[in-house]
């Protein structure tokens, strides 16, 4: 049994490391190499970097953590409140072709407020704890005043994620379907499908995490390492699927742009072979018009 636990722990560690490296590399590639003129690639890159942070937290144990792991996870949780606002901004800016800089959006205020509140709460606990001077040796039993905060943060994160998913799906449902454009594929269709797949992928992982991690956490289940490994494995597979699908959509978009560029009408002068009248016919008509004008002038000249 001990050998199985050791093998599972080591597998969980390597899974977390592999997922973190892949998400971090993908996030850096999207942010610094693959670029868009409206800057939306930076938002998408930040989403994958936050996913990398989630994977890297699986590398922390009670033996290698620089501080009590209970305290570290409490300080990290407010960062996860940025994922859904980033996804909402990415979908909104992509669908409406918004090109102005994102800046510090008001969607980030809840994460900032929670981060300040958590830092103040933990700092107060450390300063007034008898072992607060040496934070590296604080035991979990010495920070029981944070239990209420630890119980509250996952519930708030669950509520925030559900609300943002609702508004994102509502926003995507307003997008007109391809049937209204006579089944003609377009760049907007490719963009819409990518946003829909990205949203559904993150939503499915959110549901898996809610069932396997958050619900057992509130029910007092202690066997959570297997559940954590299952959620990370599902997210890692999701990252691979998104990378392959995104590359496919980029290829389709490039092909469609080239096809549309070839179909653009040329504004060059029409060659003589395609004109309705040739030069001789035009000259003959001009001669007839001049003769007719001369006859009218003679007819209007008064007789002596």
* pLDDT tens over the chain, length 304 residues: 566 567 677 788 888 888 889 899 988 888 888 777 777 888 888 999 999 998 888 888 777 777 777 778 888 889 999 999 999 999 988 888 787 777 788 899 999 999 998 888 888 777 776 554 444 444 444 445 567 777 888 889 989 999 999 999 998 888 765 444 444 457 777 888 888 888 999 898 888 888 888 877 777 665 567 778 888 888 888 888 888 888 888 787 777 777 766 665 554 555 554 555 566 666 666 777 777 777 666 655 554 4
Tell me the C-alpha to C-alpha distance, in Å, between residue 271 and each of 275, 279, 284. 7, 12, 20
Distance CA 187, CA 61 (A): 46
Question: If you ran DSSP here, which 8-state letter would residue 39 be given?
Answer: S
Tokens 């499915």 locate to 204
In the prediction, which pLDDT does 176 show?
Answer: 64
Distance CA 124, CA 131 (A): 13
In the prediction, which pLDDT does 298 show?
Answer: 63
The tokens describing 284, both together, are 């003959």
In the prediction, which pLDDT does 146 show?
Answer: 65
Closest CA to 72 of 109, 108, 118, 24: 118
Question: If you ran DSSP here, which 8-state letter would residue 210 be given?
Answer: I
Distance CA 193, CA 252 (A): 12
126 CB-near residues (< 8 Å, 6+ apart): 132, 135, 138
Tokens 């994620």 locate to 161
Domain locations in the chain as residue ranges: 1-59, 62-260
In this prediction the pTM is 0.76
In the prediction, which pLDDT does 260 show?
Answer: 67
In the prediction, which pLDDT does 138 show?
Answer: 44
In the prediction, which pLDDT does 57 show?
Answer: 87
């Amino acid at each position: 049994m001990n050998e199985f636990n050791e093998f599972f722990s080591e597998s969980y560690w390597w899974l977390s490391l592999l997922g973190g490296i892949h998400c971090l590399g993908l996030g850096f590639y999207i942010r610094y190499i693959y670029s868009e003129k409206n800057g939306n690639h930076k938002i998408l890159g930040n989403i994958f970097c936050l996913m990398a942070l989630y994977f890297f937290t699986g590398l922390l144990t009670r033996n290698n953590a620089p501080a009590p792991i209970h305290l570290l996870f409490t300080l990290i949780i407010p960062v996860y409140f940025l994922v859904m606002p980033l996804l909402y901004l990415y979908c909104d800016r992509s669908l409406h072709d918004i090109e102005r800089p994102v800046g510090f959006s008001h969607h980030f205020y809840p994460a900032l407020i929670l981060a300040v509140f958590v830092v103040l709460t933990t700092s107060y606990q450390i300063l007034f704890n008898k072992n607060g001077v040496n934070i590296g040796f604080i035991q979990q039993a010495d920070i029981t005043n944070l239990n209420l905060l630890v119980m509250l943060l996952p519930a708030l994160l669950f509520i925030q994620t559900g609300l943002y998913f609702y508004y994102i799906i509502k926003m995507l449902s307003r997008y007109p379907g391809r049937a209204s454009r006579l089944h003609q594929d377009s760049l907007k269709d490719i963009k819409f499908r990518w946003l829909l797949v990205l949203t559904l992928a993150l939503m499915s992982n959110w549901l898996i995490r809610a069932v396997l991690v958050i619900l057992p956490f509130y029910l007092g289940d202690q066997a959570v390492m297997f559940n954590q490994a299952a959620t990370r494995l599902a997210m890692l597979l999701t990252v691979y699927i998104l990378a392959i699908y995104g590359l496919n959509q980029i290829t389709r978009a490039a092909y469609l742009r080239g096809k549309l560029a070839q179909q653009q009408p040329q504004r060059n002068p029409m060659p003589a072979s395609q004109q309705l009248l040739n030069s001789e016919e035009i000259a003959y008509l001009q001669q007839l018009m001049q003769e007719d004008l001369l006859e009218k002038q003679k007819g209007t000249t008064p007789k002596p």
